[in-house]
Amino acid sequence: MNPALSSHVAGLLLAAALCCVAAAAAAADAAPASTLAELETQLQQHNPQLLQARQAWLSAQLAVPQAGALPAPQFSLLEQANTGGPFDFRRDSGFYAYPSFTQPFLWFGKRGLAAEIAGAEADVAGRQFDALRLQLQAQLKLGYYQLQALQQQQRFMDEDLQRLEQIKETSRVRYANNAAAYVDYLNAQVAAGSLENDRYALLKQSQDAREQINNLLGRPSQQVLELAAAPDDGPQLPATPLDQLIELAQRSNPAIAGSQSQVQAADKSVALARKGFWPDFALSAGAYTDPRLVELRSSRMYSVGISIALPTWGFRKEQAALDQARAQLEGARAGEQASRQQVDLGVANAYHGLETALKQAQFTRERLLPQAQMAYRLALAGYSSGGGTAFSDLLQAQSGLRSTELSLIQAQNAALQAYVTLTAAIGKDPDSP
């Protein structure tokens, strides 16, 4: 084969291989856009905090049968030789043995109360798991909506940059026609450069939001994350009145349910402490050879006994344990009341925040944005045609339009975040059945 042709073919093959490698790398780096529901599923499956809380709940559940089980029985064997050493098993040594079996018992009702306390504590762990799940889901939704809002700001910033380029071109044309000063063109360049500088901060915020979402999903912070387009319909104020939402939160919020279980556990602990004044006991049964016999014979003597673990002198330890249990019960009741008040306040604040954000978004969308758009169009037309509009007025109109567009995005994002906060405070979606 012609060497030149061989070299050409080899070059084509190498180029094709490099293209394949580049395509494979691009395909590996490209990630499918994820919806919020898909991200929530990944959160529940891979978040390490949630996995830890789930295992803690399972561990607490496994403590219930342990608390209600009988104390472990005891078996003992004592051997003795009258003439030889302790291991002299000859018949003429007068060997005999004492086997015995002992079963301890707690006072009546103690085991049942201990199991009920462990069950209530397992419920507390379960409600803590539910509360953590709601908290992490709320953080994920807040990060998701924040990233969506930042991406929307980037799109509006691109549109604003196009407007500034149009202003630059208009000022350049007018300067070329001796209809405007060169400083107008320079000011337009400065405004465009300032907008480009703001883009860097916006990109940094977007990167931070992506890293936070990846962290919640249990993934490396630099893993590629693309979000699917969010639905156009924004949140609405719940049809349920605020007072009924607060009542719903009192029934649905896992923090309150956990506080109630904590009160139940503390109440059972008081009952168990009262039973501490009653003694525990143990029953035993054994057999032994009569030590008066010289030889080991088949006849045995048997014994049945009971041992009682009496309370301490003056019941000082038991009384202190009862006082401690009562103090813990009062603390648990105060904690439940604090949880109810905190949930009440959280629901009210989130509701009013949602109400305010929705009003601001509606006012900006229906009143301010049309006025800012009209002001910009009139200023641009007046400046372009030499109708007497000053360049500073045009830049002010452009800046006002950008501020209004950003205010609308921020108000819509604030409404979404307030709705997420309201859902977390209630413990469920207020609009779900």
Coil vs helix vs strand at 218: coil
- Distance, in Å, from the CA atom of 113 to the CA atom of 269, rounded to the nearest integer, reads 8
Is 4 a member of any domain? no
- Tell me how far apart the alpha carbons of residues 413 and 149 are, in angstroms, rounded to a whole number: 6
Residue at 259 is within a domain: yes
pLDDT above 70: residue 20: no
Confirm whether 84 is domain-assigned. no
Token look-up 């300067």 returns 175
In a domain, 290, yes or no: no
Residue 23 located in a structural domain = no
Using one digit for the tens of pLDDT, what is the confidence trace for 155-210? Answer: 888 888 888 888 888 888 888 887 777 888 888 888 888 888 888 889 999 999 99
DSSP letters for 289-342: --TT-SS--S--EEEEEEEEEPPPGGGHHHHHHHHHHHHHHHHHHHHHHHHHHH
The number of folded domains in the chain is 1
pLDDT per residue over 93-102, tens digit each?
556 677 889 9
Please report whether residue 336 resides in a domain.
Answer: yes
Residue 392 lies in a domain: yes
Q: What's the pLDDT tens digit per position in 355-391?
A: 999 999 999 999 999 999 999 899 888 888 876 778 8
Q: How far apart are the first and last CA of the chain?
A: 78
Provide long-range contacts, Cβ within 8 A and 24+ apart, for 424-429. 424/134, 424/135, 424/137, 424/138, 425/249, 425/253, 425/343, 425/346, 425/347, 425/350, 426/245, 426/248, 426/249, 426/252, 426/253, 426/347, 427/130, 427/134, 427/249, 427/252, 427/253, 427/254, 428/248, 428/252
Structural domain harbouring 233:
33-71+106-276+311-426
Residue 397, burial from CB neighbour count under 10 angstroms (0-12, 13-18, 19+): buried
pLDDT at residue 15 greater than cutoff 60:
no
Percent of the chain with pLDDT over 90: 58
This prediction's pTM: 0.81
Burial of 47 (0-12, 13-18, 19+ CB in 10 A): buried
User: Is 48 contained in some domain?
Assistant: yes
Q: What does pLDDT average to over the chain?
A: 85
- Cα separation, 125 vs 426, in Å, equals 19
State the CATH number of the domain containing residue 150. Answer: 1.20.1600.10
